[in-house]
């Protein structure tokens, strides 16, 4: 197959990147697009940690990601081959991880916090999309997610936010914002705005790749 069109999508915690991705992927069939998530490349360390160690461990650093395997798997997909990867379960020992089968497709989406920071990966991208939100909005979303869905305490969430999340955003993501092809400000909690943006970008891609 021909080289896929590669889109990099990054955004800080609470920016609404996951919601954007879901809406974006809805525009394509399974054989038109594939997704590789940086989250599935964390080095497995959490299973040996106490709750206190987990709180203090900084997952918001590039060194926590197996960038070498991440890049290798991306290049395997570019070469037209299938990859198999165990999903990341967000440090939840009660979830049995699934084995992901990711098949090559004409559009390859790579998403994650550090995808612009990892230069060998950044250089592969044909389009860079940056999802952003005001800090207060992002924190509110992070609190809601981590308290309700992941079982963290309020103190744990705030500790990670102030000591890990915000510093990582400023060092490893924000510097690449102005170099992106599209910057999407996502402060509203209504779906209509993101839907309109994904409609526009997906149509642009269809005109470019499938017409």
Segments making up each domain of the chain, as ranges: 5-209
Confidence (pLDDT) at 68: 97
The CA-CA-CA angle for residues 200, 202, 206, to 5°, reads 115
Tell me what pLDDT residue 93 has.
Answer: 64
Per-residue pLDDT of the chain in tens (211 residues, 90 and over written 9): 589 999 999 999 999 999 999 999 999 999 999 999 999 999 887 767 787 887 788 989 999 999 999 999 999 999 999 999 988 776 666 777 788 999 999 999 999 999 999 999 999 999 999 999 999 999 999 999 888 777 788 998 999 999 999 999 999 999 999 999 999 999 987 788 899 999 999 999 999 998 7
| Among candidate residues 208, 199, 185, the one with its CA nearest the CA of residue 28 | 199
User: What's the confidence (pLDDT) of residue 146?
Assistant: 85
Give me the pLDDT at residue 97, please.
79
Q: Per CATH, which fold does 5-209 belong to?
A: Rossmann fold (3.40.50)
Residue 36: CB atoms within 10 A of its CB come to 23
Q: What is the pLDDT of residue 167?
A: 96
């Amino acid at each position: 197959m021909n080289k896929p069109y590669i889109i990099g999508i990054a955004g800080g915690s609470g920016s609404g990147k996951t919601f954007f991705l879901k809406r974006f992927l809805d525009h394509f069939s399974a054989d038109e697009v594939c997704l590789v998530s940086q989250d599935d490349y964390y080095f497995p360390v959490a299973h040996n940690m106490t709750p206190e160690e987990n709180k203090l461990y900084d997952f918001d650093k590039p060194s926590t990601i197996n960038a070498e395997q991440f890049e290798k798997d991306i290049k395997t997909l570019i070469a037209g081959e299938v990859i198999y990867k165990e999903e990341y379960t967000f440090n939840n020992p009660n979830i049995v991880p699934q084995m992901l089968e990711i098949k090559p497709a004409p559009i390859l989406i790579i998403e994650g916090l550090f995808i612009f920071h990892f230069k060998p990966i950044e250089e592969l991208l044909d389009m860079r999309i940056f999802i952003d939100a005001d800090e207060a909005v992002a924190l509110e979303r992070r609190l809601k997610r981590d308290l309700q869905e992941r079982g963290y305490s309020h103190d744990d969430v705030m500790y990670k936010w102030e000591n890990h999340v915000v510093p990582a955003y400023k060092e490893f993501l924000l510097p690449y914002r102005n170099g992106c092809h599209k910057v999407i400000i996502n402060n509203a909690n209504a779906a209509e705005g993101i839907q309109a943006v994904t409609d526009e970008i997906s149509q642009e891609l269809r005109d470019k790749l499938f017409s």
